[in-house]
């Protein structure tokens, strides 16, 4: 399966950001990708207005998602990203969506909110309490996560135990002390914990690191971006995943039962 990962600087106008997403979708389709992963919170962002993403929240039937759905209508590309959707006045959910063939085929409300490194995402954002559904893309089973979820190995493990072969992660990984090293280390660790491929997109700009990556089930980075806007590609090989899991059967060798996490069932089953 050929995958694409796009990273860009999210700006303050949702129309401009939607247009960038549509252009990346067109490029990924032209290159023959089956899956495109874009960053977290791509609706709107401005460095001196930290609450803009929440203030700009749109419902899933709003203009932003409608534009992405229309762009996907006549392709087989599955596009994954997150944006803020309104909950109650003044608050929002950080909502991951997977878009394909003109529809939102899956959605997930971020469970682990980024209340760390002097940031408090939960101040204006409501946490979810259910895992994302497993979806199928080009014959591979895809588990969906968002940014800070990466720091919780039981989350990734729960998806792998439900059958995920690829873990997809839109992110906006903030700069900070040793944060680039954390990103690299955690992505590699989650690949090794689960023997899954990892496909992670990072928003880039003044505050976020970019550095999108695709990592194979043995923890090897097979494609990577730097800190500037980019569209990268990689090929995921299901037979390599099968061979790695035969050689390194950590999912079978487990001796402890992970915490029970609920799996969300979408209105439309993929």
Picking from 94, 116, 80, 79, the residue whose alpha carbon sits closest to that of residue 45 is 94
Six-digit token string for 210: 């970019």
21 is catalytic: no
pLDDT for residue 257 is more than 80: no
pLDDT for residue 270 is more than 90: no
147 is catalytic: yes
Q: Which residue shows structure tokens 């989350």?
A: 155
| Mean pLDDT across 47-72 | 97
Percent of the chain with pLDDT over 70: 95
pLDDT for residue 258 is more than 80: no
40 is catalytic: yes
Where do the DSSP E strands lie in the chain? Answer: 2-7, 35-37, 78-86, 92-100, 103-109, 115-116, 119-120, 125-126, 135-137, 140-144, 166-171, 197-202, 213-215, 221-224, 230-235
21, 110, 196, 204: the catalytic one is 110
Structure confidence at residue 36 (pLDDT): 99
Q: Between 201 and 268, whose confidence is greater?
A: 201
21, 69, 121, 147: the catalytic one is 147
Which residues does 51 contact at the CB level (< 8 Å), separation at least 6?
124
Q: Which residue shows structure tokens 């790695």?
A: 244
Structure confidence at residue 261 (pLDDT): 63
Residue 251 banded pLDDT, cuts 50, 70, 90: very high
Residue 199 and residue 171: Cα distance in Å, rounded? 11
Cβ atoms 250, 195 nearer than 8 A: yes
Residue 256 banded pLDDT, cuts 50, 70, 90: confident
Listed by start position, the domains of the chain span: 2-253
pLDDT for residue 265 is more than 60: no
171-198: pLDDT as tens digits: 999 999 999 999 999 999 999 999 999 9
Q: What is the mean pLDDT of the chain?
A: 95
CATH architecture of 2-253: 4-Layer Sandwich (3.60)
Picking from 243, 182, 244, the residue whose alpha carbon sits closest to that of residue 213 is 182
């Amino acid at each position: 399966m050929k995958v694409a990962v796009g990273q860009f600087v999210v700006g303050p106008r949702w129309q401009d950001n939607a247009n960038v997403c549509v252009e990346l979708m067109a490029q990924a389709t032209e290159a023959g990708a089956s899956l495109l992963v874009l960053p977290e919170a791509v609706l709107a962002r401005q460095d001196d207005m930290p609450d803009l993403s929440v203030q700009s929240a749109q419902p899933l039937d709003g203009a932003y998602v409608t534009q992405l759905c229309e762009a996907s209508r006549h392709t087989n590309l599955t596009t994954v990203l997150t944006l803020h959707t309104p909950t109650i006045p003044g608050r929002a959910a950080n909502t991951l969506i997977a878009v394909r063939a003109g529809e939102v085929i899956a959605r997930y409300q971020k469970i682990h909110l980024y209340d760390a490194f002097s940031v408090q995402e939960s101040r204006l954002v409501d946490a979810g309490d259910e895992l994302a559904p497993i979806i199928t893309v080009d014959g591979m089973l895809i588990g969906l996560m968002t940014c800070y979820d990466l720091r919780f190995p039981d989350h990734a493990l729960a998806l792998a135990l439900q059958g995920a072969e690829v873990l997809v992660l839109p992110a906006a990984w903030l700069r900070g002390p040793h944060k680039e090293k954390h990103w690299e280390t955690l992505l590699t660790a989650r690949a090794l914990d689960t023997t899954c491929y990892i496909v992670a997109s990072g928003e880039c700009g003044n505050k976020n690191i970019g550095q999108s990556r695709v990592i194979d089930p043995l923890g090897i980075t097979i494609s990577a971006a730097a800190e500037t806007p980019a569209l990268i590609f990689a090929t995921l090989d299901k037979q390599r995943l099968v061979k790695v899991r035969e050689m390194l059967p950590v999912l079978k060798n487990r001796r402890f039962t992970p915490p029970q996490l609920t799996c969300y069932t979408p209105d439309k089953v993929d």
